[in-house]
Structure 1
Amino acid sequence: MEKIVELEQISLKRNGHWLLKDINWSIHKEENWVLYGLNGAGKTALLNMLCAYYFPTEGRATVLGKVFGRDYLAEKLRQKIGLVSSKLQQKLYQSDTAFQIVLSGAFASIGLFEKPTDEMREKAIRLLEELHCLSYADRAYETLSQGERQRVLIARALMADPELLILDEPTTGLDFLAREQLLEGLESINKRENAPTFLYVTHHVEEILPIFTHTLLLKNGEVFDSGLTNEMISEEKLSKLFDCDILVTWEKGRVSLRRKF
């Protein structure tokens, strides 16, 4: 099966500190992964490396068939990766409309400086409709709610037909209803014939959908464990991950947890 990501003995050192150590991880096409861990586990560092903002200090990293430091240009690689993150949201021009924000994804640009084709416009409209954003397509991004903004960012990320879609804690700041609407949108995207591979980053297990087949548990910059989601999100694994007794409850493919007292 085709590999989307392959990390071999990857370590990352920044400002004299090891952020990642001895990471071995493979993502295959048609797998959707959750990256799960507490704050400070190294999730952000790992994402920055996958997007070629950081280069590994040690080891070999291959993303979308391109080996880091050998046969690719970082900017071209990023055009094949859809990224939804709070940092990106802060960089956007807040006065741009939701429609303009989505269209800019076709050029991987902050702001719309090139004239989009009719095909691009039609595609942007389809994405806005699919993610239930069409009703506010002409509104300024700064006037949208947090949930509306996140759905617009997902539509923007999909404009370039990415092979890998990275969602970095996309439900931060959302209420329950907005969170569930966003997650429903992801399920819809996953049903596409040529759906991208998902990498969903969170520290809230309640957001883990049945479409996320695999999970990587990260702790202190190292792989704690990885494998099928229903095996990783278990009382035994999470109790060891958190160093305390955890009660895990699965119901209709969704999970919740609480600490045992």
Structure 2
Amino acid sequence: MVIKVRGVSISRNSKYILKNIDWTVKEGENWAILGLNGSGKTTLLNMINGYIFPSEGAVSVLGKTFGGYDLRELRKSIGWVSTALAEKLYGNETALEIVVSGRYASIGLFEDPIVEDVEYAMELLHLLDCRHLADRIYNTLSQGEKQRILIARGLMAKPSLLILDEPCSGLDIFSREKVLATIDGLARSENAPTLIYVTHQTEEILPVFSHALLMRRGEIHSKGYTKDLLTKENLTDFFETEVNCSNSNERYSVGFDL
């Protein structure tokens, strides 16, 4: 199992943030996590990364059980792309330096990187079609270009698990599709890590995400094969309002009448 969560709840001030979470991710599966703001998605991610411990239940990630393993070591096998991380980076560094820093899980580089790390970073930039950005200052890049650099950074330590936390947030439709094409290519590449893609937009759930987890108010509403969950009936119940759901080339869009 890549992820195994059993009977997990997290409470703060006598209020549940997550409640009765049971979820497993097997090797070869890529999952999308769908939920509105406040649904518990971020709390779940922080728990998987070992930054939050459950109040109840058991968690195992990459075969390591929480409470019996050094989570600092575990995090080296998990790549994480998030807005929260992006805000901490040094914007005056080059794109290449940002990517290389992922090797050390550090904010900024504090010593000259070894040649092998620079070469691998350039390979990742090439893989994600942004090698030409290597010498550009990070803060001068477009939002879409920054997201692709962050994905490369997340891959730098050759993680077994890559978590993409709303990587298309704030992007225009053209930049969004470029980032999604990058993720699609990554998922189909040889030796790709297990991908967890977090979003509140059904349109961003690519066919490579065979499974989906729908979260609402800290609980799992439904989970399973994406094609079985992204239906008019299930999404109407999930959003608690009548919705229309259309499927074009295995991409799903949702609309509703105001």
TM over 0.5: yes
**C-alpha distance in 1, partners of 2:112/2:26?**
36
1:88 aligns to what SS in structure 2?
Answer: helix
2:22 aligns to what SS in structure 1?
Answer: strand
What's 2:201 paired with?
204
What's 1:99 paired with?
96
**C-alpha distance in 2, partners of 1:15/1:149?**
37
1:79 aligns to what SS in structure 2?
Answer: helix
What's 2:48 paired with?
50
Which of the residues 192, 195, 207 maps onto 1:195?
Answer: 192
What's 2:249 paired with?
252
Mapping for residues 2-21 of structure 1, pairs under 5 Å:
3-21=1-19
What's 1:127 paired with?
124
Which of the residues 32, 43, 62 maps onto 1:64?
Answer: 62
**C-alpha distance in 1, partners of 2:157/2:215?**
29
Runs of 4+ in 1 over 4 A off after TM superposition: none
**C-alpha distance in 2, partners of 1:241/1:62?**
28
Deviations 1:128-181 (A, max 9, x none): 112122222111111111111110000000011111100000001111111111
**C-alpha distance in 1, partners of 2:183/2:18?**
29
Identity in percent: 48
1:171 aligns to what SS in structure 2?
Answer: coil
Cα drift, residue 188 of structure 1: 1.2
Deviations 1:3-52 (A, max 9, x none): 10000000011244210000000000110000001111100110110000
**C-alpha distance in 1, partners of 2:214/2:181?**
24
Which of the residues 150, 158, 164 maps onto 2:161?
Answer: 164
**C-alpha distance in 2, partners of 1:115/1:76?**
23
**C-alpha distance in 1, partners of 2:128/2:190?**
17
Residue 144 (1) aligns with residue 128 (2)? no
Q: TM-score, structure 1 length as denominator? A: 0.96
Deviations 1:222-248 (A, max 9, x none): 111100001111111110011111111
Where does the alignment leave 5 or more consecutive residues of structure 1 unmatched?
none
1:255 aligns to what SS in structure 2?
Answer: strand
Where does the alignment leave 5 or more consecutive residues of structure 2 unmatched?
none
Q: TM-score, structure 2 length as denominator? A: 0.97
Which of the residues 24, 34, 37 maps onto 1:36?
Answer: 34
What's 1:225 paired with?
222
1:111 aligns to what SS in structure 2?
Answer: coil
What's 1:238 paired with?
235
Cα drift, residue 259 of structure 1: 1.0
2:91 aligns to what SS in structure 1?
Answer: coil
Which of the residues 203, 206, 210 maps onto 1:213?
Answer: 210
Paired letter, 1:104: S
**C-alpha distance in 1, partners of 2:250/2:111?**
43
**C-alpha distance in 2, partners of 1:114/1:186?**
30
Cα drift, residue 260 of structure 1: 4.4
**C-alpha distance in 2, partners of 1:25/1:218?**
12
What's 1:23 paired with?
21
Deviations 1:187-246 (A, max 9, x none): 111122211001000000110100000000101101111000011111111100111111
Paired letter, 1:40: G
1:172 aligns to what SS in structure 2?
Answer: coil
Paired letter, 2:187: N
Decide which moves more: 184-193 or 41-50: 184-193
